[in-house]
Structure 1
C-alpha cells in the first residue's frame, strides 16, 4: 500500500460500462485502493493498467473490500452477478438504475444475506463524474448510518444527496427527475420540428427555447408543489385551465399546417380537457397530476 492510499477506504466496483469506468477512474484518481470486476474481462484489464486490481470473479472482487458498489445494466444483472456470492458483513451500494420496488426488494435480498444496503440513483452522465463543479450528484437512500459512514468515499465521483431511509426513494427521485427531463425533451423536439422546414436557424432559435423553458419551469414547478401541499389548485393561478384548454386548438392547427405530428402534445392536451370536464376550469394545471395518479 502506498502512502497516498493509507486511510482511504478500499472499494470494490462491479460493472465497468461507460459509467462504471468513469466511477472507477474517479476513485483511482483519489488514491482509493480499487478492485474491479466486469463480465467482459478486457474492461477490467484496462483499469488494471491504471492501478486497479482486476478480480477474476464477482465473488473474488467482493471479498477484496468492505465497501462494494454495483453499477450494472439492470436489477436482473445485479442478481445474476451476485448469485451465490457471500455478502455477509459487506456494505453494498447499488448504483444500478432500477425501479423503487426493485430497490426495496434488493435491499431485503441483501439484508437476508447479511449485507448492509444503500441504493443510489446517479444524476449525471459519465463526463461529469469526477469533475469538480460539473453538477453531477447521486441520490442515496436506505441506511442513514451506512451513508454517513461512507459519505466521503461516495462523494469522490460526484456529490451526494441522501433522500431517506426507504431504500426505494433514491430510485424514485432518480426516475421522477429523469421523467421530467424526457417530458422537457419532448417539448423541445416538437418546437424544433415546427421550425424545421422554415428559414429559421435552429442554432439561433436554441437560446430562445432554452431561456423560455428556464423562465417557465422554475416558477411553475414551485407553484405546483405548493398547490399539491395545500390542496388548493386555484391558489396563485395566472392562467386558468379553461383558458389554456381554449388555446390548444391553435397548437394543433399550427402543427398540422407545418406538417408536424402532434403526438407529443395530444396526450397532455387530452388530460387537460378531462380535468376541465371534471370542473377544474379555475385551477392551474396541477389537477392533471390527480388524473395520472391511479387508484390502488
Structure 2
C-alpha cells in the first residue's frame, strides 16, 4: 500500500507542484513535503517517511474515497464574462469591482495582454483610457519582452477576443507557466474577461469561439480547478432555431467517458463576475450564473453566492492511478 501511495504522490507532485493533496476532514500537518496522504489513525508523508498517529482519521486503504487538492497559494482573481454589457460602456458594469480588487493589492500599473485580438495596439488604445480614468497606468505586454513584462507585473489583465488565438499566443510567447507561477505563487492580481476568463480555467474546452488557430494544447493557465463558459445563454423557448442550446452542449461535454479530463463548468451570463480571493469564491456583477456539476442537474446561482466549494478539486484515487500508470 505504501508503494501504491508512493506512485500516486510522485505523479501528483509532477502534475500539481503548487498544490497539497489531503483527505477530507484532516488538518494540514507541518512538514516540509508538499504532499500528504492520510491512512487509518496516521498521517503519512511518503517523501520524508514521517508518520503521525491520529485518532478518528478516515481509513482509505480499502475504500479509496475521493481526495482533494487544496491550493498552497491564495490566488487573487477577478473573472468577467465579458467587457461589454448592454446598457454599459466598456468594462463599466464591473468598474467598482475592478477598482476595489486592484486597490486591495496596491496596484498602480496593470499589464494588459491583448493576444486574443489581431491588432494589439488598437486593443491597448481601447483599454488604456478606461484604466487611466480609474487612476491606473497600463502597459501592453506586446510592447516589451513578454517574459520580462510578466516577471515585473504588478497585476495582469487578459482581455477578451478569440480564445484559441489567445492561448496559442501565450504558448508561443512562452508565458503560460510564468503567468501561472506569478499568480499562484507570487500572488499578483489576475483579471480576465471573456477569453481571458476562459484561459484561467484548466482547459478551454468550454469556450464559444471558433478555432481559427490551433494552440499546442487546450490546457490553459489552470488558476481554478473548473471550467468557465462565458457569455452563457439560456434556452429561448420562442426561438425557431433547432440547433443545440448552450446547456445541451455543456451536458454533452459531461457525457465524455472517464478517460477524458472533464471538469465542472460555471456558465457566466453577460454581466457576471467571479471574484476569487484565496480559498473564497463569490459571484458578483449584475446577473445570475448557471452551474453544471458533472452527473447533476444544472443549478441556478444567484448573485453574491459563495462558490468556494468549487475551488476544491475532487478526484478518485483508483481512476487517477489507472490514468497515471
TM bucket, shorter chain: 0.3 to 0.5
Question: Which of the pair has more CA radius of gyration?
Answer: 1
Looking at secondary structure, tell me which structure has more strand per residue: 2
Looking at secondary structure, tell me which structure has more helix per residue: 1
Q: TM-score, length-normalised on structure 2?
A: 0.30
Q: TM-score, length-normalised on structure 1?
A: 0.32
